[in-house]
Structure 1
Amino acid sequence: MKVTFYNTKPYDKQFFTEANQVQGHQLRFLEVPLNENTAILAKGATAVCVFVNDKVSASILRHLAEAGVKLLALRCAGYNNVDMAAAAQVGIKVVRVPDYSPYAVAEHTLALILTLNRKIHRAYNRVREGNFALTGLMGFDLHGKTVGLIGLGNIGLVTARILKGFGCRVLGYDLYNSPEAADAGVEFVALEELYAQSDIISLHCPLTPQTFHLINEESIAQMKDGVMLINTSRGAIINTQAVTRGLKSGKIKSLGIDVYEDEGDLFYEDLSGRVIQDDVFMRLLSFNNVLITGHQAFFTEEALYTIAQVTLKNITGFEQGQPLRNEVFPSFLPNVENMLN
């Protein structure tokens, strides 16, 4: 099957080319994102493969259908960027990669926590300048601290197990109190209790209408003074301006994020030669107790290998007329965003 890839980077081409040696599809890699002007480039392809920041609107889906596209393959878990109702109307099926490596995201979560706590990012820059003073670099023992996890799916569960290995008390809040999390030593509590008791709060929940701006002025006010806040799930779970005020007041002692509410115009591109116009984002960068990574928590060899394998198997299944176990249906789509990563 002919497949056109949009928004590809060198690592996409590497992993998909290797995985395709078994599947045998005709792959065409484009660096440009999918938009109104580039949709015509899919002409002749039966399938199109896109990533999280490709906006697949109703009009773009109509263009793809007119070009002969029958399948939209997402090389990610989230599908909030797709107008699912419009896809159904034009007869384009949508498939995704629901799970690739919870270890990748969980381990990145711990990297943010440890870096912020021990001021590794600041120490690195000091030493490079010949400054070996320790003033301002004091952290705390992670052992014995209380960490609250909001969301205990696969990623949250792996994060909990790692934290228990550090000797942390782990509190959890989820709509479903899984036996696996309980077996891992997670204490399920109400959200208000999690806010009040946690030294560190880490977000691992999907973005839905219920979790949109879950972290806001009201919830921040319920947190312990000097809390550390970590987000490796979805940017809009956090009200960025409310968190900025929390940082200024000292209520939030440190912030580590791998996602940002308006990341679509920033992440995955080299903007080092430009002036970034997002004032809210630039305000966050001005804090020395804020650590931001560019949606890279998923970015491990194992995760990319799995993403390529599952995506191409989804395409092969469609080509062979098999049931699509990773198909996304319009009725599954919340009004805002969904799924992690």
Structure 2
Amino acid sequence: MKISLLEPLGVPENVIRDLAAPLTKAGHEFVYYDTKTTDKKELAERSKDSDIVMIANNPYPDEVVEAAEKLKMLAVAFTGIDHVGLTACKKKGVTVCNCAGYSNETVAELAVGLAIGVLRHIRKADEAARTGGTSAGLTGREICGRTVGIVGTGRIGIRTAQLFGAFGAKLLGFARHESQEAKAAGIRFVGLEELLRSSDIVSLHLPLTDETRKMFGAEQFAQMKPGAIFLNCARGAIVDNQALAEALNSGKIAGAGVDVFDMEPPIPEDYPLLHAKNILLTPHVAFASEESMLRRAEIEFDNVAAYLAGTPKNVCKI
């Protein structure tokens, strides 16, 4: 079979070649593109004659899936698959596999880092230290003893809760299905409205679906405590980010840490969150660490090997 990796995976090329070696040794053709493209014609050309296509978080829309006539399996080196043309995949019977679990630790650590950054005014403190300032006006708040609401208690949400719990936080959770694993991590499940009313920190860990799109808007921010902070390391489109900016600027909530937006960075200069008060932004880096990049590359190639062996794993429901 022809296997095409259409974009880099954040690891050195020699790692890619080492991971691909068992595939080529078994007689499969492996093609690697070391640059990213969003051009649909170029993506279709790179996918030409491929039985298996490997991508990361680069968009792979319906038109490209349709153009890839031989496509049987799409291996996605990412947790979410909302950037994939799932309608065409379902129509053509393409098996879609993801790399769920590769970034659990990395995303959870950044969520906690953003919380600390907002609560302790780290960006303002850094600026003060560099410009002859003092600690005046920089008194922060602790995580210990505060209530953290985890919205979405999958593996990333649970790991985030565990880290906040290690700081001494009380943990609330909201999810469609309550899990024993989440309860074992100290999470007490409540309704969303109660979670928003009771939490000092609200951390979002949901996938982007038709049900969750724009799930957080003005109504939800109005239910939060005036002193609460909001964290989003999940998907930007789950949040009405204009409403979030207004909630920050009006003082309805006290702060926010955001890693994801309505588009992939770079962010347009007029984007509302760029001009909101007391917000700490990162350009969609929550998933990216040296360790997580290696994990996802290993999982990606393992998914391909499993499919070729007739025992596919990490298969996504589409």
Task: Report the Cα offset of residue 202 of structure 1.
Answer: 0.5
Paired position in structure 2 for 1:293:
282
The reply on whether 1:19 has 2:8 as its aligned counterpart is no
Distance 1:235-1:136 versus aligned 2 partners, 3 A rule: same
Deviations, residues 139-171 of structure 1 (Å, cap 9, x unaligned): 112111111111111111111111111111111
Equivalent residue runs for 1:20-59 within 5 Å: 20-24=20-24, 26-38=30-42, 39-57=44-62, 59=63
Aligned-partner Cα distance in 2 for 1:34–1:316 = 27
Distance 1:291-1:12 versus aligned 2 partners, 3 A rule: farther
Q: Which amino acid aligns with 1:99?
A: G
Equivalent residue runs for 1:128-277 within 5 Å: 128-129=130-131, 131-263=132-264, 266=265, 277=268
Aligned-partner Cα distance in 2 for 1:12–1:214 = 38
Size of the aligned set, in residue pairs, is 313
Distance 1:14-1:297 versus aligned 2 partners, 3 A rule: farther
Task: Report the Cα offset of residue 6 of structure 1.
Answer: 2.5
Equivalent residue runs for 1:277-288 within 5 Å: 277=268, 279-280=270-271, 283-287=272-276
Task: Report the Cα offset of residue 50 of structure 1.
Answer: 1.6
Aligned-partner Cα distance in 1 for 2:12–2:207 = 25
Task: Report the Cα offset of residue 294 of structure 1.
Answer: 1.6
Task: Report the Cα offset of residue 254 of structure 1.
Answer: 0.9
Please report the TM-score for the alignment, with normalisation by the length of structure 1. 0.84
Contact 2:245/2:276 (<8 A) preserved:
no
Distance 1:50-1:254 versus aligned 2 partners, 3 A rule: same
Report which structure shows greater RCO (CA 8 Å, sep ≥6): 1
Distance 1:147-1:75 versus aligned 2 partners, 3 A rule: same
Deviations, residues 28-79 of structure 1 (Å, cap 9, x unaligned): 124132532201133354322122231322x2112221xx443321111211
Correspondence for 1:315 among 282, 304, 308: 304
Unmatched runs of 5 consecutive residues or more in structure 2: none
Task: Report the Cα offset of residue 14 of structure 1.
Answer: 5.4
My pick for the range that moved more, 14-23 or 236-245, is 14-23
Paired position in structure 1 for 2:315:
327
Unmatched runs of 5 consecutive residues or more in structure 1: 268-275, 334-341
Aligned-partner Cα distance in 2 for 1:318–1:167 = 43
Correspondence for 1:61 among 45, 59, 65: 65
Aligned-partner Cα distance in 2 for 1:327–1:180 = 22
Equivalent residue runs for 1:94-133 within 5 Å: 94-129=96-131, 131-133=132-134
Contact 1:147/1:198 (<8 A) preserved:
yes
Deviations, residues 166-199 of structure 1 (Å, cap 9, x unaligned): 1111111112221222222222111111111111
Aligned-partner Cα distance in 1 for 2:261–2:15 = 26
Identity, % of aligned positions: 32
Aligned-partner Cα distance in 2 for 1:173–1:10 = 33
Contact 1:35/1:55 (<8 A) preserved:
no
Distance 1:9-1:158 versus aligned 2 partners, 3 A rule: closer
Q: In structure 2, the residue corresponding to 1:37 is in which secondary structure?
A: helix
Contact 1:35/1:54 (<8 A) preserved:
no
Please report the TM-score for the alignment, with normalisation by the length of structure 2. 0.90
Task: Report the Cα offset of residue 21 of structure 1.
Answer: 4.3
Aligned-partner Cα distance in 2 for 1:233–1:32 = 23
Aligned-partner Cα distance in 1 for 2:204–2:226 = 18
Deviations, residues 235-277 of structure 1 (Å, cap 9, x unaligned): 11110011111011011211101111222xx25xxxxxxxx64
Aligned-partner Cα distance in 1 for 2:299–2:32 = 18
Deviations, residues 80-113 of structure 1 (Å, cap 9, x unaligned): 2222231243453322212213111111111100
Paired position in structure 1 for 2:95:
93
The reply on whether 1:6 has 2:10 as its aligned counterpart is no
Contact 1:34/1:56 (<8 A) preserved:
no
Distance 1:50-1:88 versus aligned 2 partners, 3 A rule: same
